[in-house]
Amino acid sequence: MRFAPSPTGFLHVGSVHTALFTWLFARHNKGSFILRIEDTDVERKVEGSIEAIMDGLRWLGLEWDEGPEVGGNYGPYFQSQRLELYHEAARRLVSQGDAYYCYCSPDRLDEMRAEQVRRKQPPGYDRLCRDLDQTERDRMEASGITPVVRFKTPLEGKTGFKDIIWGDIEFDNSTLDDLVLLKSDGYPTYHLANVVDDHAMEISHVIRAEEWVSSTPRHILLYGALGYQPPYFAHMPLLVGPDRAKLGKRHGAVSVTEYRELGYMPEAMLNFLALLGWSLDDKTEIFSREDLINNFSLERVSRTAATFNHEKLKWMNGLYIRNLDLDDLTRRALPFLDTGLPLEVKRPLSIEYVRQIMPLIQERMREMAEVTDLAHFFFSEELSYESELLIGKGMNQESALQALKVSRNRLGEMTGFDTESLEVLLRPLADELGLKTGQLFGVLRVTVTGRAAAPPLFQTMAVLGRDLCLRRIEAAIEKLG
RNA sequence: GCCCCCAUCGUCUAGAGGCCUAGGACAACAGCCUUUCAAGCUGUAGACAGCGAUUCGAAUUCGCUUGGGGGCACCA
């Protein structure tokens, strides 16, 4: 099996979806997973995208058995390094009479198509050059035109194939036009290159997105003309946005890099993507990589396009985060804190301190990048919040001020400063002050964290430490007074 | 316009003639827990696109309609 992206930018989640299913199929069946770079479009090639693709796949753990940087017996794995193979195939097809040189200019083709659309005809090459004789060809050659090679599609008959996911699909050859195989710049089109390579690399199963269904008959025809046995085809359901159109940039984050930077875990990403167009049964939805490999089958892939639901991904990522052990969580969160926290915060961050904070915010994170916002008050000296926030329901400035002053004194006299002693001290204190526990705790929470919603108070204070807590109480008293 | 395909809660899906008064999950809503926010637990609401046909019986089979998508490049 192979995953064959073209290096035209970032690694798209749709591509990863296909890569994942291909990889799962390969792993499940003990086949090999090949990465092949389809760099046959010089114009659209984007610098650095090959690295982005490889980085992305590796981050997700979709390791390839053959391909760039790993090698293999069927290389090279860049189509731009395999041009001779395509030329040879094209020459053979021409000499067999299954392909021909076409001298039509792009301008003529554009006009032709515009005219066809105007007349509401299906657009397609009009086969002007299909039956050129030798003298006409010589004349064209002499005028300096570099021809393209086009496939001589049979005019009649039907071409069908059995798709593992879709079943039997059949096309009338009359609806297919003479596609270009070799471009005038000497590069092959996808159609030629993919057929030649899939055969040369002994690909048994071609797994790709649904958008390729309509060009599959052309490929079948090509395999036939070349005398090759076609592989099995499995077309995957498309990933779409909320408007049901093919997932694209306008739908928000579509590159794996973006998700990585937001703090999505590869495990969650794969789990989520696997459930788009595939399911095991009516209840299982949390799968480890191994579970996926063990249970995957193309027969259970659905045919309907799936909406990429960010909300569910977020939920699932949160679930994975909650399942992390302390060390793992700390290790993964550290880089996000490092880049996300304000410059004033001293670096390097104390791993021990971060370790103490993590349990307090673990169940509140859904994207790892949220760690910065959730934990910033553990690091910043100054807190900024509106003083009204200190005055809770049923309280006024005076009672808040008094609560703070008394708390300051008591806290200062404490011997220990752990969660339990804080609770033992503070809980009765509310009563003494004539406040409900919620009121007292509320004032202190805002004082100590700068916000109304935060992790449990006593634990938070214990981590912050007595000094910082007292300084913040002073600051709050000042704010109110 | 032509070709190909798809159609179960808002979303992801289970369902391959009776197990379906259609199951699960996200999201929503309500309650419980609770010092806030989360997390967790419990519950509520929510779908077989429509119409015909086959059948004792249809979400499941067939046809039509409607809706949606994909493709129709010297891009992949």
pLDDT of residue A253: 85
Whether nucleic acid strand B comes within 7 Å of the CB of A44, the answer is yes
Nucleotides of B under 7 A from a protein CB: 1-8, 10-15, 23-27, 35-40, 68-76
pLDDT value of position A394: 87
A432: closest CA among A453, A456, A469, A403? Answer: A403
Q: Which nucleotide C1' is nearest A316 CA?
A: B26
Tell me what pLDDT residue A411 has.
Answer: 94
Question: End-to-end distance of chain A based on CA atoms, in angstroms?
Answer: 72
pTM confidence score: 0.94
Q: Among chain A residues 102 through 121, which have CB within 7 angstroms of nucleic chain B?
A: 104-106, 109, 113, 120-121
How far is it, in rounded angstroms, from Cα A332 to Cα A267? 13
Give Cβ neighbours of residue A345 (< 8 Å, ≥ 6 apart).
A379, A380
The pLDDT of residue A75: 82
Question: CA–C1' span, A190 to B75, in Å?
Answer: 8
Q: What is the pLDDT of residue A249?
A: 87
N residues, chain A: 481
Contact A446, A389 (CB under 8 A): yes
Residue A244, CB, strand B, below 7 Å: yes
| ipTM of the prediction | 0.95
* Contact, A453 CB vs strand B, < 7 Å: yes
Q: Which of residues 116-175 of A touch strand B (CB under 7 A)?
A: 120-125, 148, 166-167, 169-172, 175
Distance of CA A244 to the CA centre of its chain: 18
Q: Is the CB of A237 under 7 A from strand B?
A: yes
Span CA (A157) to C1' (B49), Å: 35
To the query of whether residue A249 is one of the catalytic residues in this protein, the response is yes
- Give, in Å, how far the C1' of B14 lies from the CA of A279: 9
Q: How far is the CA of A449 from the C1' of B8 (A)?
A: 48
- Residue A380: the pLDDT is 92
Protein chain A, residues 50-79, with a C-beta closer than 7 Å to any atom of nucleic acid strand B = none
What is the pLDDT, as a whole number, of residue A341? 95
Cα–Cα dist A22/A17, whole Å: 9
Identify nearest nucleotide to residue A123 by CA to C1′ distance. B72
Mean pLDDT by 10 residues, chain A (481 residues): 95 97 98 97 94 97 97 94 97 96 94 91 92 92 92 95 94 95 97 98 97 96 97 96 90 92 98 97 95 97 96 98 98 97 94 97 97 96 91 90 95 92 94 93 96 96 96 94 80
Per the residue annotation, which of A249, A314, A346, A405 is the catalytic one?
Answer: A249
Distance A303 CA to B5 C1' (A): 9
> From the CA of A363, how many Å to the C1' of B41?
16
